[in-house]
A and B are shown apart, each in its own frame.
Chain A
Amino acid sequence: MARMKFLCDVERCIECNGCVTACKNENEVPWGVNRRRVVTLNDGVVGAEKSISVACMHCSDAPCMAVCPVDCFYKTDDGIVLHDKDLCIGCGYCFYACPFGAPQFPQAGAFGLRGKMDKCTFCAGGPEADRTQAEFSKYGRNRLAEGKLPACAEMCSTKALLGGDGDVVADIYRERVLRRGKGSEVWGWGTAYGPGKPGAQPPQAPRPATKS
């Protein structure tokens, strides 16, 4: 069974905000609402700057679900935390409970009036018929029902942001870290575009030293 998760590789994130733009464009998120955003630490400090893309982390034990007074949250079979906007009263408890600041409250316009909560859906839509206009206008695009992954992760230019089944994402990240090395290997031309020779093999992960 898949358990959908995001993972952001801070060694690769270049703060381009492509994920934010992809999310806004794909789901037609209104002004004032940011389902995803890039947070930068030590901004401007040479060598110490780190950026990370943050949205709803679809927690296994989600605090927003625990505090919601109208129980409008549910978790899908794939571990995605979603909510019913027809039930949400916009009280803001979930915002206070969330450690990532994921819940957003639009003031007017699309995505429901009266400040109903809006957040990242892992591009899984919501409790409306899949791939319908009703679902899109309330929750955004349902890419999972199209056999795709969240637009933010798939659009990430450096593949810093990974999304999908947590086990697969963890395997990708683990393999990457083992091969990463230092310097240009972290994100160099060869990593981005390949060696340019047919039949070439990827760099091998260094083997741990063994005692003789």
Chain B
Amino acid sequence: MRALLVVAALLALAACGEREQVAAGERTYQGKPDAKPWESGPPPAALRGGTWKQGDRASWEDQIRTRTLAQHEDRRIYQ
């Protein structure tokens, strides 16, 4: 009886498993590989870009975060 209940519960829960609906997940990019933006290191000073440690994603993200927050006028004006 218990085994029957277990089988019934499993059958009842079978519909809860949802299959992936995203077609893009099954696609594979066929083009050339692209470098990560943090791999090349900071640009020359003439470009007036940011500073981060070459190859260090976390420091690059800190730079981008600082740049993003510069769009916040309250933080820019009220120093």
Contacts and interface: CB of A to CB of B under 8 A. Distances in A.
Same complex for A and B? Answer yes
Interface of A: 1-2, 61-62, 65-66, 68, 70-74, 76-78, 82-84, 86-87, 124-131, 142-149, 153-154, 159, 162-165, 168-169, 172, 175-176, 179, 191-194, 200-202
Chain B interface SS verdict (over half): loop
7 contacts: A84-B30, A131-B40, A149-B71, A159-B71, A169-B71, A191-B73, A194-B78
Contact of B40 (A130, A194, A200): A130
Contact of A202 (B22, B49, B78): B78
Given A66-B27, A142-B37, A86 B32 contact: yes
Interface in B62-79: 63-65, 67-69, 71-74, 77-78
A87 B28 CA distance: 13
Given A130-B35, A130-B39, A165 B64 contact: yes
Interface string B29-62: 1111111110110110001011110000000110
Given A159-B71, A168-B69, A194-B77, A149 B29 contact: no
A172 B71 contact: yes
Contact of B37 (A124, A176, A192): A124
Contacts of A124: 37
A7 to B, nearest CB: 10
Most buried by A among B22, B60, B74: B74
A84 B32 contact: yes
Contact of A147 (B22, B31, B51, B74): B51
A175 B32 contact: no
B47 A72 contact: no
Nearest to A2: B61
Given A86-B32, A172-B69, A145 B64 contact: no
B35 A72 contact: no
A179 B42 CA distance: 36
Nearest to B34: A127
B68 to A, nearest CB: 3
A75 B23 CA distance: 14
Nearest to B22: A61
A58 to B, nearest CB: 13
Contacts of A169: 68, 71
B28 A71 contact: yes
B31 A86 contact: yes
A146 B31 contact: no
Given A61-B24, A62-B24, A66-B27, A147 B32 contact: no
B33 to A, nearest CB: 7
A179 B68 CA distance: 19
Given A70-B30, A147-B50, A202 B77 contact: yes
